[in-house]
């Protein structure tokens, strides 16, 4: 069949080129009117009446989609398509109201969604309109009720070669699956009924355009968020590898961020549904945890190679996204031993991009996780120290003093590397870890996790009289007492009471330091702890009282 050529040299999709909508064979056979209309449109085309042929094609597409939407239960969209079909005379007539459309123009929702059924040229403009309106979270539920999820997904699947439609359509799906009352429902429907995972991964494979890659990765992240079934389907479609390839192939900051978020969202694939039995839960979790581990290990191998290439090329966007991906993978303690070869690259990235927050945060997270919770922990600690990693970690704390996440990760890494190793303690002190840790404690007094890590780090570092004196002179004693006062008696705040009392008892061995500890108000804090409802806090409060009085 020949495409319709209008006076403006546009081509429209033929009616029978619409995708299979799942209608029964009986229903299709009953649609003999469609064949008749198609023949009539062809007759107009052959007679040179392109405008009338185009109008007939648009109307047929509207009728067909109206019937499909009626069967799907979207009666409002179906009604609008049937009512508006007689007004569709050309692409301009159908799309004139889209000019100047703004995110707040909710009145245009039904009309814009309906246009997604009218062939590629109209659908591309309609997809942009739906995306524009979906930018407002308040509009997303209305768009969902208008059938936007179904029609956008169908358009993305069918018009896979249209770059504009793919970018806008993937963007619209991302927005419809996040931050609205219908988001959870939309995720389930997109994956289970509409083939959303297949459509989004196909867009990533077919189009290496930055906008398509960004929006498709974002849509994958939204579809998999807190949705294990969706994450599993995306993994089956190759979404894990496609996200990693998007990072390297585009070299774009926004694409990298979206891809890392998608990789993080996919980690829920091993979670079983709440309605499963215990045996089913164990089976599902075991099978999918094994698949995820294989993906993570392959991803780490890919990242190792690409990080080295990007480091040599000076490609910062790719580096920070790949480090973000590694940061996601090493949340699994069972793959951390695979990162031993990456330690030197991570440290080199920190040295080459000082002050770049994303690179520094991801790097500190990787190094912190490599120092705890796996069989190759000692080898990783040794390599971090031997590769000069302590200096860049402390330097990151100086360069980004207001980043609480980085401060907590960096202090945790210093704590773990220095623990039980005198040589590493010396390296940490020389790098300036003691003042950097105390500054972090002072700047973020309400961060319980940071306080715990900082007190633990100071306990390891300040095991000599000289270092203890430096700590006290810089305000470390006051920082520990403040943390104890705020968090010591709370059951949910980790080991602040235990660690705080241990370091203060240790410092009490020196008479001058004991005097400073008393002046900081430690006795009152110790008495409060000893009378708290938390048995552990009571114990450590009593130990601190004993340490303060026995001298």
Q: For position 48, what pLDDT does the model report? A: 66
Tokens 């009392």 belong to 501
> Is residue 513 assigned to a domain?
yes
How is 197-209 classified by DSSP, letter by letter? Answer: HHHHHHHHHH---
Task: Please name every residue paired with 12 in a beta bridge, in sequence order, or none if there are none.
Answer: 4
Residues 6+ apart with CB under 8 A from 366: 323, 326, 327, 330, 339, 342, 346
Please compute the mean of the pLDDT values over residues 237-241 and round it to a whole number. Answer: 97
Residue 191 phi, psi dihedral angles, 5° rounding: -85, -45
Does 450 lie in the same domain as 338? yes
> Is residue 386 assigned to a domain?
yes
Q: For position 57, what pLDDT does the model report? A: 76
> Is residue 284 assigned to a domain?
no
Q: Please choose, from the candidates 169, 163, 234, 248, the residue with its C-alpha nearest in 3D space to the C-alpha of residue 201.
A: 234
As separate numbers, helices (DSSP H) first and strands (DSSP E) second, the chain gives 32, 2
Task: Please name every residue paired with 4 in a beta bridge, in sequence order, or none if there are none.
Answer: 12
Does 422 lie in the same domain as 369? yes
Does 439 lie in the same domain as 499? no
> Is residue 62 assigned to a domain?
no
Alpha helices, DSSP H, located in 117-195? 119-134, 137-145, 148-158, 163-176, 183-192
Does 457 lie in the same domain as 505? no
3-state helix vs strand vs coil in the chain, percent to 5: 75, 0, 20
Please compute the mean of the pLDDT values over residues 528-542 and round it to a whole number. Answer: 84
Q: Which of 461, 478, 511 is the last residue of a domain?
A: 461
Please compute the mean of the pLDDT values over residues 545-550 and round it to a whole number. Answer: 87
pLDDT for 494 beyond 70: no
Q: Which residue has the higher pLDDT, 416 or 285?
A: 416
CB 308 within 8 A of CB 270: no
Q: Which residue has the higher pLDDT, 100 or 281?
A: 100
pLDDT for 19 beyond 50: no
Tokens 């988001």 belong to 183
- Structural domain count of the chain: 2
Q: What percent of the chain has pLDDT over 70?
A: 88
DSSP category for residue 179: S
Does 443 lie in the same domain as 529? no
Does 352 lie in the same domain as 418? yes
**Angle at alpha carbon of residue 448, lines to 447 and 453, rounded to 5°:** 100
Distance CA 248, CA 495 (A): 41
Please compute the mean of the pLDDT values over residues 451-477 and round it to a whole number. Answer: 95
- Quick one: pLDDT band at residue 187, thresholds 50, 70, 90? very high
- Indicate the length of the chain as a whole number: 551
Does 442 lie in the same domain as 492? no
Here the CATH number for the domain that contains residue 437 is: 1.25.10.10
Q: Which of 427, 446, 461 is the last residue of a domain?
A: 461
The conformational region for residue 279 under phi > 0 = left, psi -120 to 50 = alpha, else beta, is alpha
Q: What is the pLDDT of residues 79-127, one digit of tens each?
A: 877 887 777 777 777 788 888 899 998 888 888 998 898 888 889 999 9
Q: Please choose, from the candidates 95, 28, 27, the residue with its C-alpha nearest in 3D space to the C-alpha of residue 58.
A: 95
> Is residue 532 assigned to a domain?
yes
Joined together, the tokens standing for residue 154 give 């169908």
- Quick one: pLDDT band at residue 2, thresholds 50, 70, 90? very low
Q: For position 7, what pLDDT does the model report? A: 38
Please compute the mean of the pLDDT values over residues 210-229 and round it to a whole number. Answer: 97
How is 45-81 classified by DSSP, letter by letter? Answer: HHTT-HHHHHHHHHHHHHHHHHHHHHHHT-HHHHHHH
Q: What percent of the chain has pLDDT over 90?
A: 67
> Is residue 321 assigned to a domain?
no
Distance CA 177, CA 63 (A): 28
> Is residue 361 assigned to a domain?
yes
Does 437 lie in the same domain as 353? yes
Please compute the mean of the pLDDT values over residues 376-405 and round it to a whole number. Answer: 97
Does 492 lie in the same domain as 446? no
Does 527 lie in the same domain as 426? no
Q: For position 230, what pLDDT does the model report? A: 96
CB 170 within 8 A of CB 157: no
Q: Which of 415, 443, 461 is the last residue of a domain?
A: 461
The helix-helix angle for 476-487 and 496-507 (nearest 10°) equals 150
Joined together, the tokens standing for residue 334 give 């069972």
Q: What is the pLDDT of residues 305-323, one digit of tens each?
A: 999 999 999 999 999 999 9
pLDDT for 462 beyond 90: yes
> Is residue 500 assigned to a domain?
yes
* Structural domain span for residue 365: 330-461
Q: For position 158, what pLDDT does the model report? A: 92
Does 456 lie in the same domain as 344? yes
* Torsional sign, CA 259, 361, 268, 190: negative
Burial (0-12, 13-18, 19+ Cβ within 10 Å), 99: exposed
Q: For position 84, what pLDDT does the model report? A: 75
Does 500 lie in the same domain as 387? no
Lowest-confidence segment of 87-96, 173-182, 398-407 by average pLDDT: 87-96
């Amino acid at each position: 069949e020949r495409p319709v050529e209008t006076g403006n040299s546009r081509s429209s999709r033929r009616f029978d080129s619409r995708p299979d909508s799942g209608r029964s064979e009986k229903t299709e056979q009953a649609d003999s009117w469609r064949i008749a209309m198609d023949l009539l449109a062809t007759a107009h085309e052959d007679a040179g009446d392109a405008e009338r042929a185009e109008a007939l094609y648009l109307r047929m597409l509207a009728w067909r989609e109206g019937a499909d939407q009626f069967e799907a239960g979207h009666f409002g969209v179906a009604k609008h398509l049937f009512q508006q079909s007689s007004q569709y005379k050309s692409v301009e007539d159908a799309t004139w109201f889209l000019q100047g459309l703004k995110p707040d123009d909710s009145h245009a929702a039904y009309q814009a969604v309906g246009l997604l059924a009218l062939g590629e040229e109209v659908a591309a403009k309609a997809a942009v309109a739906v995306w524009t309106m979906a930018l407002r979270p308040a509009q997303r539920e209305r768009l969902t009720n208008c059938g936007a999820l179904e029609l956008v997904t169908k358009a993305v699947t069918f018009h896979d070669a249209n770059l504009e439609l793919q970018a806008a359509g993937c963007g619209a799906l991302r927005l419809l699956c996040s931050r609205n009352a219908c988001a959870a429902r939309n995720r389930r429907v997109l994956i289970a009924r509409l083939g959303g995972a297949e459509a989004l991964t196909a867009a990533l494979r077919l189009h290496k355009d930055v906008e398509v890659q960004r929006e498709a990765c974002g849509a994958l992240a939204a579809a998999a968020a807190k949705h294990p079934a969706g994450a599993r389907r995306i993994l089956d479609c190759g979404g894990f590898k496609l996200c990693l390839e998007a990072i390297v192939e585009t070299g774009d900051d926004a694409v990298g961020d979206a891809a890392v978020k998608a990789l993080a969202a996919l980690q829920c694939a091993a979670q079983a549904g709440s309605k499963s039995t215990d045996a089913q839960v164990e089976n599902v979790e075991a099978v999918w945890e094994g698949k995820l581990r294989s993906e993570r290990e392959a991803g780490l191998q890919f990242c190792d190679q690409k990080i080295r290439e990007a480091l040599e090329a000076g490609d910062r966007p790719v580096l920070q996204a790949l480090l973000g991906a590694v940061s996601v993978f090493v949340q699994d303690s069972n793959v951390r031993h695979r990162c031993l070869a990456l330690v030197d690259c991570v440290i080199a990235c920190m040295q080459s991009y000082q002050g770049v927050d994303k690179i520094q945060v991801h790097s500190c997270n990787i190094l912190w996780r490599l120092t705890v919770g796996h069989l190759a922990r000692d080898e990783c600690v040794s390599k971090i120290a031997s590769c000069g990693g302590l200096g860049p970690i402390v330097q990151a704390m100086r360069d980004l003093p207001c980043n609480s996440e980085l401060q907590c990760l960096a202090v945790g890494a210093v704590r773990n590397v220095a623990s039980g190793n005198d040589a590493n303690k010396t390296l940490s002190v020389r790098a300036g870890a003691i003042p950097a840790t105390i500054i972090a404690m002072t700047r973020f007094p309400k961060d319980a996790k940071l306080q715990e890590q900082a007190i633990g780090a100071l306990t390891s570092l300040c095991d000599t009289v000289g270092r203890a004196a430096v700590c006290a002179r810089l305000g470390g004693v006051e920082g520990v007492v403040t943390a104890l006062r705020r968090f010591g008696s709370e059951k949910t705040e980790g080991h602040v009471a235990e660690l705080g009392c241990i370091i203060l008892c240790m410092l009490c061995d020196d008479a001058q330091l004991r005097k400073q500890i008393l002046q900081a108000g430690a006795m009152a804090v110790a008495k409060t702890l000893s009378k708290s409802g938390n048995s552990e806090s009571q114990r450590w409060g009593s130990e601190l009282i004993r340490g303060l009085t026995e001298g």
